[in-house]
Amino acid sequence: STGPNGEKASPASEVALTPDELAKVKAKHATAALVFHYGGNDWSNAQEAALKAQFAAEGVDVIAVTDAGFKPEKQVSDLETVLAKKPDIIVSIPVDPVATAAAYKAAADKGVKLVFMDNVPKGFTAGKDYVSSVSADNYGNGVAAAHLMAKALKGKGQIGLVFHAADFFVTRQRYDGFKKTIEEQYPDIKIVAEQGIGGPDFSGDAEKAAGAILTEHPRINAIWAVWDVPAEGVMAAARAAGREDLIVVNEDLGENVAIAMAKGEFIKGIASQRPYDQGVTEAKLAAYALIGKPAPAYVALPAAPITRDTLLESWKEIYHQPATDKILKSMK
């Protein structure tokens, strides 16, 4: 996986602070704000928990957490509100790399250290405008999902894709990785339909998109969904169409798709990011900036391919806590 501007990926394992460096960071008594694209989902919750835990270990006070509801104009106003609190650090994921760029530039011009998750504003240069960006290897995530799909289909069948119709670096990478792998390595799997979704009601949009695919291609075997919330919509469409046999493979381990997988319903494979580990890495990179330690431009964490057999251990590995009661009950 390369970064938003084609940067070579550095492994997260190399991002570390010595005890001496940590002491220097603590002495700064710095403050940080977390500016999310949208909250309330397992990915954002894990990022937030990890950032707060690692910042606490660094003596950095988290003074604001915002949720833009996937609307660029809301994120711009969130950034303005946050800037008034004069944070030393902002960790953020831009909803739209173009529409939000000026607001992030205003923060950078004030000397705020910016660390990005997944997406980087248009025209920004690492080391100059921002510290670093941290992501899953999203191309690799798409590749992993393609192999999971092929395994679930035993190498042949018709599939549809529900993708993210937006200028969003990571979701485009997943789509590219998935599609290229299917087309180049699995000639007996045919992509017969594709539908883009724009949100912010990603589950509802995906339900409509998948419904249209199922109507047009009643014999379709499987649908790929770009992340877990759209996958919930795909499952709803399959239920409505009486297609309990539809195979769904998606990116990102959310609780609802994990419950479906545990029950043996629809979800046969998940290629996940590691949002908790990403959050820890972002907070460490912010610390680098506080003490003037040079940071890699782009850090990527490997994809985690998941099937029902590995679901419980994968949840623990990804979220740093045991699977929820709902998932455990569904495994029975």
pLDDT tens sequence across 49-83? 999 999 999 999 999 999 999 999 999 999 999 99
Helices 202-216, 228-240: crossing angle, 10 deg rounding:
40
Question: What are the residues whose beta carbons fall under 8 Å from the beta carbon of 122, sequence distance 6 or more?
Answer: 97, 98, 101
The Cα 212–Cα 206 span in angstroms is 10
Which of the four pLDDT bands, split at 50, 70 and 90, describes residue 93?
very high
Q: Is the pLDDT of residue 1 over 80?
A: no
What pLDDT score was predicted for residue 241?
98
What average pLDDT does the structure give for the chain? 97
Burial profile 202-213: b = 16 or more Cβ within 10 angstroms, e = fewer: bbbbbbbbbbeb
Q: Kindly report the number of other CB atoms within 10 A of residue 23's CB atom.
A: 12
Q: What length does the chain have?
A: 332
**AA identity, residue 253:** L
What superfamily in CATH does domain 10-134+275-300 come from?
Response regulator (3.40.50.2300)
| 231 vs 167: which has the higher pLDDT | 231
* pLDDT tens digits, one per residue of 110-149: 999 999 999 999 999 999 999 999 999 999 999 999 999 9
Do 10-134+275-300 and 138-273+306-330 share a fold?
yes
Mean pLDDT of 254-280: 98
Determine what percent of the chain is predicted with pLDDT higher than 90: 95
Q: Which of 6-10, 153-157, 210-214 has the lowest mean pLDDT?
A: 6-10
Q: Is the pLDDT of residue 23 over 90?
A: yes
SS3 163: strand
Assess contact for 244 and 225: CB atoms under 8 A.
no
Q: Kindly report the number of other CB atoms within 10 A of residue 308's CB atom.
A: 16
Q: Is the pLDDT of residue 224 over 90?
A: yes
What pLDDT score was predicted for residue 99?
97
Mean pLDDT of 155-183: 96
Q: How far is CA 236 from CA 24, 85, 200, 269, in A?
A: 52, 43, 17, 17
What pLDDT score was predicted for residue 249?
99
Helices 42-57, 275-290: crossing angle, 10 deg rounding:
40
Q: Is the pLDDT of residue 178 over 80?
A: yes
Which of the four pLDDT bands, split at 50, 70 and 90, describes residue 227?
very high
Strands 304-306 and 267-272: antiparallel
Determine what percent of the chain is predicted with pLDDT higher than 70: 100
The reply to whether the predicted model has a pTM over 0.85 is yes
| Residue 218 φ/ψ, nearest 5 degrees | -60, -20
Q: Which fold has domain 138-273+306-330?
A: Rossmann fold (3.40.50)
Domain boundaries, the chain: 10-134+275-300, 138-273+306-330
What pLDDT score was predicted for residue 158?
99
